Amino acid sequence: MKNKFTLVSVLAVAITSLYSFETQAQVSNLRPYDKSGINVFEAPKDSNAVFDKIKVQFGAGFTQSFQGLKHENTSGILYKITPGFNTANANLFMDVQLSDGIRLNLTSYLSSRHHNETWVKGGYIQFDKLPFKGKLWEDIMSVTTIKIGHMEINYGDQHFRRSDGGQTIYNPFIENYIMDGFTTEIGGEVLVRKNALFGLIGISNGMIKGNIDSLIATPQDANVHKSPAVYVKGGFDKQLNSDLRVRLAASYYSNNSSGGQTLYGGDRTGSNYFMVLEKVGAVNTTNAFSGRFNPGFTKKVNAFQLNAFIKLQGVELFATYENAKGRSKAETNSRGAEQVAIDGVYRFGKSENFFVGVKYNTVTAAMANVAVAGTTPAITYTGDVKIDRFAFAAGWFMTKNILLKGEYVNQKYKDFPTADFRSGGKFKGYVIQAVVGF
């Protein structure tokens, strides 16, 4: 509550600024924050955009949800939940056209489940042109985009369709994947697009924040060298005709020695399923990722993701296969995790303002060694666990900036050791969200 006045004042400044600056075609090569940004993956590239002066554009994303979920497990020691409103989430976007083909972005979380105070998600500079004269540079940058900063890294395609704090308008469902491959890191990316083909290479510090601390050796891992993260991506994306679009993408991410790798724990806002499958005594802000599974690859991770997107008139299919291996600094051997997800969305009505959708998401993963209670001598559980989710969604765009959507979800936890509070766990029910994006 202490941030209520901060939130109001920031929004007032943003809205005032929005009308103080020119409001038409201010910033080029920007993914829109409203309905027109749906199914936009990498930001568009318009080499013919005209620059006449520095321009500033503010945007925002707001989400208010009402939750009616129920959960249970074998032990029964779960946080008591009842239907009710969740904390509203809000994002603030500032985009600046600094020069011809050069754009600056700064994104802030004004309010989120994980952190109630306002803080910065990240920012970057994007170059679609370089301030160098010569045809060589023009030819290179006609197909190249460069991003540098502390930013959301471009690993996989699913992060373009996820909910991010208050910005949930891109996601036809309520929540993200069970194993949520999303993080912000300090680094740079080079993206090359030619006709329907694209390729990307990126390098980052491999951590969610800046860090100059030395790593500490453990009995299991004496390596104290911090390695950068390297990731690559390539694919095909083409509107084959007026009715059919096809996009295929493959991504690989590798970080062999990190002080705190967060590829599957980099979200600083929290889950949209509040407090499901959390233990008695849990705290809402510190247990912010309910319903998700983080494999705990904090020291080393190598991850591969395949994505396919097809849109035929109003029908959309989006599929993901992901395979990751890694470990923490307290382990000697790598473990594996595998994720499969597929969703189908049908958009209909004038300007596709209505939609219905169904999604299936499953994760199978080897957990870190877990002591099995009551065994003599002590043994550990190293088997695979599995989580399945079915979700059914529907939504209505009242305008291109206002969305009302709802979802019914059923999620089950299988093969967890009996000492784990998720053993026999499941939750189901509905969540309704009112969303604004501009």
Q: What is the pLDDT of residues 100-130, one digit of tens each?
A: 999 999 999 999 988 778 889 999 999 999 9
Range scoring the smallest mean pLDDT among 182-196, 219-233, 298-312? 219-233
The predicted structure's pLDDT at residue 368: 81
User: What is the pLDDT averaged over residues 281-304?
Assistant: 90
Q: Would you state the pLDDT for residue 183?
A: 96
- Which one has a higher pLDDT value, 2 or 231? 231
- The Cα–Cα gap between 268 and 113 comes to 9
pLDDT value for 185 = 96
Q: How confident is the model at residue 394 (pLDDT cuts 50, 70, 90)?
A: very high
Tell me which of 3-17, 76-90, 98-112, 349-363 is least confident.
3-17
d(CA 92, CA 61): 7
Residue that wins the pLDDT comparison between 386 and 10: 386
Mean pLDDT in residue range 204-220: 87
Q: What is the mean pLDDT of residues 128-140?
A: 93
Instruction: Give yes or no for residue 380 having a pLDDT over 60.
Output: no
Percentage of residues in the chain having pLDDT higher than 70: 91
Predicted confidence (pLDDT) at residue 391 exceeds the cutoff of 80 = yes
Contacts of 91 (CB under 8 A, 6+ apart): 60, 61, 62, 107, 108, 109, 110, 121, 164, 165, 166, 167
What superfamily would CATH give domain 4-437? Porin (2.40.160.10)
Confidence (pLDDT) at 382: 61
Domain definitions of the chain by residue range: 4-437
C-alpha dist (Å) from residue 414 to 73, 166, 169, 233, 417: 11, 31, 32, 33, 9
Q: Indicate whether 347 pLDDT > 50.
A: yes
More confident: 216 or 379: 216
Q: Phi-psi category of 351—alpha, beta or left, where left has phi over 0 and alpha has psi -120 to 50?
A: left
* pLDDT at residue 224, rounded to an integer: 83
Tell me: pLDDT of 229 over 60: yes
Q: How high is the pLDDT of residue 301?
A: 97
- Contact at 8 Å (CB) between 78 and 277? yes
Exposure string of 79-88, with b = 16+ CB inside 10 Å and e = fewer, is bebeeeebeb
- The whole-angstrom separation of Cα 239 and Cα 65 is 35
Residue 162 has pLDDT above 80, yes or no: yes
Q: Does the pLDDT at position 2 exceed 90? A: no
Question: For 45-53, what is the mean pLDDT?
Answer: 85
- Whole-number mean pLDDT of the chain? 90
Dihedral of CA 376/381/382/384: which sign? positive
Question: Which pLDDT score is estimated for 280?
Answer: 87
Specify the DSSP element, H or E, that contains 103.
strand 102-111
Q: Which tokens is 333 given?
A: 């051997």
Question: Closest Cα to residue 381, out of 370, 393, 367?
Answer: 370
**pTM to 2 decimal places:** 0.90
pLDDT of residue 8: 43
Q: How many CB atoms lie within 10 A of CB 280?
A: 11
Q: How confident is the model at residue 293 (pLDDT cuts 50, 70, 90)?
A: very high
Q: Return the higher-pLDDT residue of 46 and 3.
A: 46
**Of 64 and 214, more confident:** 64
- Within 8 A by CB and 6+ apart from 342, the residues are 317, 318, 319, 320, 359, 360
H/E element holding 340? strand 335-348
CA atoms of 365 and 387, how far apart (whole Å): 9
Residue 419 is predicted with a pLDDT of: 86
- Whole-number Å distance between alpha carbons of 394 and 349: 13
